[in-house]
């Protein structure tokens, strides 16, 4: 295993990706502050390109590759934000992206990835088919596989959002992210703990997909088995790289009910007039459910993304 | 009639309201620019307090009153954004607000107005009941009636959004607003034409509520009769004050179908990740329907508000 990324890798990533990514705004909302009795600073990666923080890591990975490597393209398996992010990042470098997706993926996701110019290779909706199809593509094309989160370059890129947050808002008591595979959480924890060691890093995870909570508790990776939650970006298990960082740098993982996730999502839409996806509302959900003592604290929240199917809102 | 407001009134309003209102951001979206072949600058009054530009005018009106006047409170009839705006503006001045609303108003609107501390007086859902109920309240309390749009102070306050837009984004070819009663349009047209006379001011109006279009064409106020549109903030008729300004300063009013309004609203949600109400999407709807030649133009758009009933989205 290569060395785990550190602050210098995140700074290098920030420099590398700056021509391509948005420096997203940090918003506040007095109404929500009043409801949860805290001072919240929302770092809005829902306004990032492709609508999610994932574009930071994908861009860092794509622009880290050598000319020889990138000439053969990049490949991944994902039906979510990482696929769209990798597709656009590759296009920005004039490179080819191969995305393995289950045939059964929603048309809107297929369209998004295809719209960014990626070649979609369909597989059956099983882990085995997905992995064998990807292996075949990599074998045939020589493309570099970019894992959605268990990758040093992805982690370093994801950490740039937290870097911007810490640089702009000093003296945060707590920084929160959601946790799925752990790319955002691990990258954020590096930025926060290096630049502001006294700040707590607390992740929020859906109750129905609480593998990271259990992994941190037991000190080993507990895979996510049959996860069930409205937060469909958080179904994945931790990887060895993200877990190694998280176990050293994250103070706490709290569990959140789907009801609280939906209530938090709706509250953000209504009060802040911004679209966030369910996975991005888990953090505020934890505050609504008072999952830890946060009274009057200054809390930075990384809002992970805003890609929502507007035909299927969870409260309808 | 008092003198119509001019640029100096808008500058005075900007100064007066600055401690209370948000200076809202101006957002761009390359995706939508590509779709309509223009460069759009969205002045986001959906992020304004109470979620609409109306808070600017209401604040200007409330803080323009003398101590003796304000001690007796303010009153209005409205079930929409103006009612909430006036309620909060009054509360900010420690004053009382009386809002006459039809009994049949949606609960969510009643709650919003009550939440800002106004006293709600219910009337029957007829114009006559509304006006007689208001007259009674004014008679009884001595409160100052603040009309939702046909009022110099409201117009001057509304014009401060356009002032900020023109100051921040130079060399706009066109500035667009929706038009209902004409408060936003008239105020905006003063700011734009005084500071950037070469910039066109073009308003967009729903086809099913095209009284302003017809009024401008015929040179006299044509009342809105049985208007029917998804853009429920644009049902009202012009007033004598707004019309007097609009006829002198607005270059054009274009009509937009409800289908285009809904498509534009959804496009803004999906691409920009912000909530806008149907009335705020009429402008982009006009561009989607190519209601005038806007190819490659630099267009400032005042996004009027973001108050939406999330249980009833128009595309569902």
**For residue range B233-244, what is the model confidence (pLDDT) as tens digits?**
999 999 999 999
Give me the mean pLDDT over the A53-67 stretch. Answer: 98
How far is the C-alpha of B316 from the C-alpha of B311, rounded, in Å?
10
CA distance B87 to B95: 9
Question: What letter would DSSP give residue A41?
Answer: E
Show residues of chain B in contact with A269, CB under 8 Å.
Answer: 275, 310
For residues A106 and A17, state if they share a domain: no
Share of chain A above pLDDT 70, in %: 99
- Shared domain for B64 and B212, answered yes or no, is no
How would you class A6 by CB atoms within 10 Å of its CB: exposed for 0-12, middle for 13-18, buried for 19 or more?
middle
For the segment A190-205, the average pLDDT, to the nearest whole number, is 98
In a domain, A312, yes or no: no
Q: Which of B25, B311, B315 sits opposite A310 (nearest CB)?
A: B315
As a whole-number percent, the residues of chain B with pLDDT over 90 amount to 94
Higher-scoring residue by pLDDT: B251, A111 = B251
* Cβ-based contacts under 8 A for chains A and B: 37
Give the chain A residue nearest B24 (alpha carbons): A27
Among B129, B145, B161, the domain-final residue is B145
Closest chain A C-alpha to B275 CA, distance in angstroms: 5
| B interface test, pick of A273, A307, A316 with most B CB neighbours within 10 Å | A273
Angle at B195 between CA B189 and CA B198, to 5 degrees: 75
Number of domains in chain B: 2
Total length of chain B: 316
A311 reaches B (C-beta below 8 A):
yes
pLDDT value at residue B304? 98
With respect to residue A2, please indicate whether it lies within any of the assigned structural domains.
no
Mean pLDDT of A15-28: 98
Is B267 found in the same domain as B136?
Answer: no
Q: Quick one: A265 and A191 in the same domain?
A: yes
The share of chain A scoring above pLDDT 90, in percent, equals: 94
A25 touches chain B (CB under 8 A): yes
pLDDT at B1: 44
Contacts of B269 in chain A (CB under 8 A): 275, 310
Q: What is the pLDDT of residue B2?
A: 65
Question: In terms of DSSP H, where are the helices of chain A?
Answer: 7-17, 30-36, 54-64, 67-71, 81-92, 107-115, 127-141, 152-168, 183-195, 211-218, 240-249, 258-272, 282-288
Q: What average pLDDT does range B100-125 have in this prediction? A: 91
Q: Which of A110, A145, A180 is the last residue of a domain?
A: A145
With contacts defined as CB-CB under 8 Å, which chain B residues touch A46?
273
Cα–Cα separations (whole angstroms), residue B14 to B23, B164, B246: 10, 9, 21
Are A127 and A152 contacting, i.e. CB atoms less than 8 angstroms apart? no
Query: CB–CB of A310 and B269 under 8 A?
Result: yes
* Binary contact (B313, A315; C-beta < 8 A): no
pLDDT tens digit sequence for B25-39 = 999 999 999 999 999
Query: Which B positions 271-310 lie with beta carbon below 8 A of chain A?
Result: 273-276, 306, 310
In a domain, residue A310? The reply is no
Same domain, A188 and A245: yes
Say whether residue A269 is in contact with chain B using an 8 A CB cutoff: yes
A2 pLDDT exceeds 70?
A: no
Alpha-carbon span B57 to B116, nearest angstrom: 17
**How high is the pLDDT of residue A1?**
44
Mind listing the pLDDT tens digit for each residue in B138-172? Answer: 999 999 999 999 999 999 999 999 999 999 999 99
Shortest distance, CA A53 to any CA of chain B (angstroms) = 14
Q: Is residue A242 part of a domain?
A: yes
What is the rounded distance in angstroms from the CA atom of residue B311 to the CA atom of residue B313? 6
Contacts 24+ apart (CB under 8 A), A124-132: A129/A102, A130/A77, A130/A100, A130/A102, A131/A77
Distance of CA B286 to CAs A212, B185, B209, Å? 49, 16, 14
Residue B68 is predicted with a pLDDT of 98
Averaged over A48-62, what is the pLDDT?
97
How many percent of chain B have pLDDT more than 70? 99
Residue A313 tokens read as 């809102």
Using the Cβ of B125 and the Cβ atoms of chain A, whether some distance falls under 8 Å is answered with no
Residues A195 and A261 occupy one common structural domain: yes
Which chain B residues contact residue A311 at CB under 8 A? Answer: 315-316
- Which of these ranges, A38-52, B1-15, B60-74, has the smallest mean pLDDT? B1-15
Per-residue confidence (pLDDT) for residue A204, from 0 to 100? 98
State the CB neighbour count (10 A cutoff) for residue A251. 16
Q: In angstroms, rounded to a whole number, what is the distance separating the alpha carbons of residues A103 and A120?
A: 10
Task: Judge residue A102's burial from the number of C-beta atoms within 10 Å of its C-beta, 0-12 exposed, 13-18 middle, 19 or more buried.
Answer: middle
Do A62 and A136 share a structural domain? yes
Between A100-109, B53-62, B199-208, the lowest mean confidence (pLDDT) is in: A100-109
Domain boundary among A145, A177, A192: A145
Please give the DSSP secondary-structure letter assigned to residue B20: T
Residue B23 exposure: Cα atoms within 13 Å on the Cβ side: 9
Question: What average pLDDT score do residues A253-272 get?
Answer: 98
Say whether both A33 and A61 belong to one domain: no
B216: domain range? 7-52+152-303
Specify whether the CB–CB gap between B164 and B13 falls below 8 A. no
Q: A140 burial class (0-12, 13-18, 19+ CB within 10 angstroms)?
A: exposed
Q: How buried is residue A16: exposed, middle or buried, by Cβ count under 10 Å (0-12/13-18/19+)?
A: buried
Whether the complex's predicted ipTM surpasses the cut of 0.90 = yes
- The answer to whether residue B309 is domain-embedded is no
- Look at A40-49, B58-67, B109-118, B265-274 and tell me which has the smallest mean pLDDT: B109-118
> What would the mean pLDDT of A201-218 be, rounded to a whole number?
98
* pLDDT score at B205: 98
Is A309 part of any domain? no
């Amino acid at each position: 295993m290569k060395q785990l990324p550190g602050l210098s890798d995140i700074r290098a990533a920030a420099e590398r990706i700056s021509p391509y990514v948005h420096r997203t705004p940090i918003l506040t909302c007095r109404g929500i502050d009043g409801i949860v009795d805290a001072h919240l600073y929302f770092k809005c990666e829902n306004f990032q390109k492709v609508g999610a923080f994932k574009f930071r890591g994908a861009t860092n990975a794509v622009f880290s590759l050598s000319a020889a490597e990138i000439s053969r393209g990049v490949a991944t398996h994902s039906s979510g934000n990482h696929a769209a992010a990798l597709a656009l990042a590759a296009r920005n470098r004039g490179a080819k992206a191969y995305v393995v997706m289950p045939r059964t993926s929603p048309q809107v996701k297929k369209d998004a990835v295809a719209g960014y110019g990626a070649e979609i290779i369909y597989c059956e909706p099983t882990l085995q088919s997905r992995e064998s199809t990807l292996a075949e593509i990599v074998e045939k094309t020589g493309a570099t596989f970019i894992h959605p989160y268990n990758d040093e370059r992805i982690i370093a890129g994801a950490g740039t959002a937290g870097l911007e947050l810490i640089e702009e808002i000093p003296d945060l008591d707590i920084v929160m992210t959601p946790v799925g595979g752990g790319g955002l959480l691990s990258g954020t924890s590096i930025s926060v703990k290096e630049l502001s060691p006294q700040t707590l890093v607390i992740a929020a995870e859906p109750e129905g997909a609480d593998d990271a909570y259990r992994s941190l508790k037991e000190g080993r990776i507990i895979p996510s088995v049959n996860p069930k939650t409205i937060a469909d970006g958080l179904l994945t298990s931790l990887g060895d790289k993200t877990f190694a960082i998280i176990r050293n740098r994250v103070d706490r993982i709290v569990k959140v009910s789907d009801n609280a996730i939906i209530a938090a999502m709706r509250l953000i839409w209504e009060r802040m007039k911004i679209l966030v996806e369910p996975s991005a509302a888990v953090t505020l959900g934890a505050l609504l459910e008072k999952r830890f003592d946060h009274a009057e604290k200054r809390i930075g929240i990384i809002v992970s993304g805003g890609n929502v199917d507007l035909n299927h809102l969870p409260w309808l």
